[in-house]
Chain A
Amino acid sequence: MMKTIISSMGDNLDSGFDLRFGRAGWFCLLDEETGETSFYENDSAEASHGAGTRAVEKLMELGATKVISGDFGPKAKELLEKFKIQMVVLSDDSRSIADIIDSIK
């Protein structure tokens, strides 16, 4: 049941980790039990406002319980707290998605 979202710059495991949450290009969904990953494009990355809110909605749809990103805006933070989704902030943007997944295991 542990599903984790990681903000990503591209659609595969070699992509860089995106420090932005609402405006990340892609979201990587990781199932922590099976180790399976899938990538979802963020449709609201270019939105002029409300990107964070819509990203949280997407997360809820995918059933994530944890989210790893570089920073969360005030609106996204408030919503994630309300829905009891754990937020994890990593500040190193030189890591790839595969690298972060390795460190979780």
Chain B
Amino acid sequence: MPRRKTLRRVVAPPGFRGYKPYGNQYGRKKHVDLLYEEYEAIKLADYDFMTHLEASKLMGVSRATFARVYESARRKIAKALVETREIKSVFGNASLDHSWFECIECHARFNIPDNRTEQKCPICKSDHIQSLKDQ
């Protein structure tokens, strides 16, 4: 049995379920699965301009593993663009920050530090909140 993969820490899941090409000539093809940790790797390296070492620490994996995840992410995106395939975001081997919630009433997103006990929205005080992990 192969060794289990260490979970890659992801701060926030991608804000999309997928991307679809339009105006393409050929019919539907099989989609590309972009894992949460691959999205996070692209975000940290190419959007937040972090070095691979900094990013790997944030995600809780070694620099080499980060580089592999990042490489795989870039290849998948390139494949989707060139072969006009859909991209779908898939959970993968990610562990999300547990402490983030979204208010169902006012859509504010917030964390609850562990020194607080109330499970309420800090803006509208509603208790209709859900963990971002369940999405």
Interface residues on A, range: 10 to 19
Secondary structure of the A side of the interface?
mixed
Cβ of A28 to closest chain B Cβ, rounded Å: 15
Interface residues on B, range: 20 to 34
User: Is the CB of B78 closer than 8 A to any CB of chain A?
Assistant: no
A-B contact count (CB 8 A): 45
Contact with A along B106-130 (1 / 0, CB 8 A): 1111111111100000111000000
Q: Once the chains are docked, how many angstroms separate the CA of A93 from the CA of B102? A: 18
Contact with B along A71-105 (1 / 0, CB 8 A): 00110010001001111111100000000100110
Q: Which residue of A lies closest to B111 (CB)?
A: A87
- B residues in contact with A68, CB < 8 Å: 122-123
- A residues in contact with B44, CB < 8 Å: 74
Q: Using CB atoms and an 8 Å cutoff, list the residues of chain B in contact with chain A.
A: 11, 44, 48, 50, 54, 58, 99, 106-116, 122-124
14 CB-based A-B contacts, threshold 8 Å: A66-B122, A73-B48, A74-B44, A74-B48, A81-B111, A84-B114, A86-B110, A87-B111, A88-B122, A88-B123, A89-B108, A89-B110, A90-B123, A103-B123
